[in-house]
Amino acid sequence: MKISKAVAAAAAAVALALTATACGGSNDKAASDGGASGDAKKDKIVVGIKFDQPGLGLKTPDGKYTGFDVDVATYVAKELGYQPDQIEFKQAVSAERENLIANGDVKFIVATYSINDKRKEKVDFAGPYFLAHQDLLVRADDTSITKVEDLNKKKLCSVTGSTSAQNIKKTLAPEADLQEYPGYSDCLSGLENKAVDALTTDNSILAGYAAQEKNKGKFKLVGLSMSNENYGIGLKKGDKDLQTKINAALKKMVADGAWEAAVKKNLGPANYKNEPAPQITEGS
Amino acid sequence: MFDFLESGQYDVLGAFWVTVQLTLYSAAGSLIWGTVLAGMRVSPVPLMRGFGTAYVNVVRNTPLTVLILACSLGLSQTLGVNLGGDTFKETGFRLAVLGLTAYTGTFVCEALRSGINTVPVGQAEAARALGLSFFQVLTLIVLPQAFRAVIAPLTNVLIALTKNTTVAATIGVAEAALLMKEMIENEPQALFAVFAVFALGFLVLTLPTGLLLGWVAKRVAVKR
């Protein structure tokens, strides 16, 4: 009797879990279908962004989304015919970006997504919409780093497995003492405590941290351009139609000044000298 | 499909070697620390029993990631305790071994305590009747028999430890999981192949451990 009760309870739990996932699955499908059929029924569009990068893509504690990537995503979605309240933002962690796109979980991804050849094997890009460089964030009173060679005697911090971390290890400064943490915020406390001398990644991301209210005046960007990162908007491979539409939207955004305003608003407080909007190179 | 392995860009064996080293150091450390803890938990001194119980229940119920991050962010970055290492590579490794030992020790302790329960009470009573102290009873009579009874559960702990070493990637120890992150960052087109390589790597490490120690457990078990 006891056993059969337990079995029944377990079966009920499994059934519940199954229906729950089934619901989730069908909802997602409906949302992406709505996006795919485009003009027919415009209910919602799912866009991938980062949730943890201040200045670029950040989910605030009250559930709002802020940042440059968010502004670009909103503008592009508007050009595709979606109002801001029809946009559903989904977190696109770096390692999952290709799969989110390939599975149709998101329509496109605006998440500091550098265009490169290996990624293009899995997805297509529109853009680029932003040119960033790998740079360093140091304490505001630190003047000891002026060139890349100075890094070899320094303690650096970056994110585990990121391209920036690999660049340091393999080419830029192989002798630098590099600490890798899961997130940039973990590095910031070390930088403040003088356990590390510099935090390295794309200057746009660094500027976002430096521009945060709680960090104002504590850190500064060194201004070394150690690499070129062309951020593109990732979308499903072979979707030429969407690519053309997004490229047109990006061109319009630069032309009407919304691009410049978004950069100033989100990254400006860190005295970040942004590059002019890059030429669109992806697609025809 | 696996051509990223032939580029020579990734030292997969080297990364797994760090995993093996982490496992071995932490296994040795947690065996010692776990035995000490087990001794405390069965000791006649209430203070020691209390400490052992409190430690085991707090540490084993704390997520390993939190423990290891606390070692790195708290101990090393904030308090400046670097365990004698000069570079982040050294300190990271040592802190990871510390965190893994503190965590795995609790599981070793509980496995051993169950082993101690397999030793008939009469043995300890007889030993005490001969005039042996608690420490002598424990080390000469009880623990040798207890260990032989718990090799199989300890094997599970060791296998779990092997896989838990991947958490060390959180604080930047260059072991298998960290290399996997790098490879996923660089080779998104071969995501599942990368996963397969590392899954296979861990199978190669853990399957023989299980088989070998399973055989040992059968050989040395005390037949009662």
Per-residue pLDDT band for A10 (boundaries 50, 70, 90) equals low
- Taking residues B204-216, what's their average pLDDT? 95
Per-residue pLDDT band for A28 (boundaries 50, 70, 90) equals very low
Q: Is B188 on the interface with A (CB under 8 A)?
A: yes
- Taking residues B135-162, what's their average pLDDT? 94
* CA B133 from centre of chain: 30
With contacts defined as CB-CB under 8 Å, which chain B residues touch A162?
Answer: 185
- Give the model confidence (pLDDT) of A127-185 as tens digits: 799 998 999 999 888 888 888 888 888 889 998 888 888 888 888 888 888 999 888 88
- Give the model confidence (pLDDT) of B51-76 as tens digits: 999 999 999 999 999 999 999 988 88
A255: helix, strand or coil: helix
- Give the model confidence (pLDDT) of A219-238 as tens digits: 888 888 888 889 999 999 88
- Taking residues B121-142, what's their average pLDDT? 94
Q: What is the CA radius of gyration of chain A?
A: 21
- Taking residues A72-77, what's their average pLDDT? 91
- Taking residues A10-29, what's their average pLDDT? 47
- Taking residues B7-31, what's their average pLDDT? 92
From the list B151, B156, B167, the residue with the least C-alpha distance to B22 is B167
Per-residue pLDDT band for B127 (boundaries 50, 70, 90) equals very high
Q: Tell me which of B1, B7, B185 to substitute to probe the interface with A (most A C-beta atoms closer than 10 Å).
A: B185
- Give the model confidence (pLDDT) of B10-19 as tens digits: 889 999 999 9
A96, A98, A101, A107 alpha-carbon torsion, rounded to 10° = 80
- pLDDT for the residue A207: 87
**Burial environment of residue A257 by CB neighbours within 10 A (0 to 12, 13 to 18, 19 or more):** exposed
Average pLDDT, chain B: 92
> Before B120, cis peptide (omega within 30)?
no
Nearest chain B residue to A197 by CA: give it.
B77
Sheet order of strands, A134-139 included? A177-181, A155-159, A198-202, A134-139, A219-221
CA A79 to chain B, closest CA, distance in angstroms equals 30
- pLDDT for the residue B114: 95
- pLDDT for the residue B168: 93
- pLDDT for the residue A219: 87
**Burial environment of residue A283 by CB neighbours within 10 A (0 to 12, 13 to 18, 19 or more):** middle
- pLDDT for the residue A215: 82
**Rounded Cα distance, B144 and A62, in Å:** 58
- pLDDT for the residue A11: 52
Nearest chain A residue to B80 by CA: give it.
A195
B72-78 CB contacts, 8 Å cutoff, 24+ apart? B72/A181, B72/B170, B72/B171, B72/B172, B73/A186, B73/A189, B73/A190, B76/A195, B77/A189, B77/A190, B77/A193, B77/A195, B77/A196, B78/A189, B78/A193, B78/A195
Residue A25 has pLDDT above 50, yes or no: no
**Rounded Cα distance, A125 and A238, in Å:** 10
Residue A31 has pLDDT above 50, yes or no: no
Q: Tell me which of B79, B182, B187, B195 to substitute to probe the interface with A (most A C-beta atoms closer than 10 Å).
A: B182
Measured between CB atoms, which of B180, B185, B187 is closest to A163? B185
Q: What is the ipTM, given to two decimal places?
A: 0.78
Residue A193 to residue B78, Cβ atoms within 8 A: yes
- Looking at chain A, the whole-number percentage of residues with pLDDT higher than 90 is 11
- pLDDT for the residue A8: 55
Nearest chain B residue to A121 by CA: give it.
B189
- Taking residues B11-28, what's their average pLDDT? 95
Residues linked to residue A139 through DSSP beta bridges, in sequence order: A219
A234 and A97 Cβ atoms separated by less than 8 Å: yes
- pLDDT for the residue B208: 95
Residue A147 structure tokens: 């060139």
Pairing of strands A123-132, A155-159: unpaired
Q: Is A229 on the interface with B (CB under 8 A)?
A: no
Tell me the count of A-B CB pairs closer than 8 A. 72
- Give the model confidence (pLDDT) of A40-65 as tens digits: 456 889 999 998 888 888 888 898 89
Nearby residues of B54 by Cβ (< 8 Å), 6 or more positions away: none
Cβ under 8 Å to B: A residues 186-215: 186, 189-190, 193, 195-196
Give helix A258-267 / helix A240-255 axis angle, nearest 10°: 80
Q: Is B89 on the interface with A (CB under 8 A)?
A: yes
- Taking residues A76-101, what's their average pLDDT? 88
- Give the model confidence (pLDDT) of A182-219 as tens digits: 888 888 888 888 888 999 999 888 888 888 888 888 88
Per-residue pLDDT band for A38 (boundaries 50, 70, 90) equals very low
- Taking residues B103-111, what's their average pLDDT? 97
Q: How many residues does chain B have?
A: 224
From the list A208, A211, A244, the residue with the least C-alpha distance to A126 is A244
Q: Is B172 on the interface with A (CB under 8 A)?
A: yes
Residue A20 has pLDDT above 80, yes or no: no
Per-residue pLDDT band for A35 (boundaries 50, 70, 90) equals very low
Residue A13 has pLDDT above 80, yes or no: no
Average pLDDT, chain A: 81
Phi, psi of A136 (to 5 degrees): -120, 145
- pLDDT for the residue B103: 97
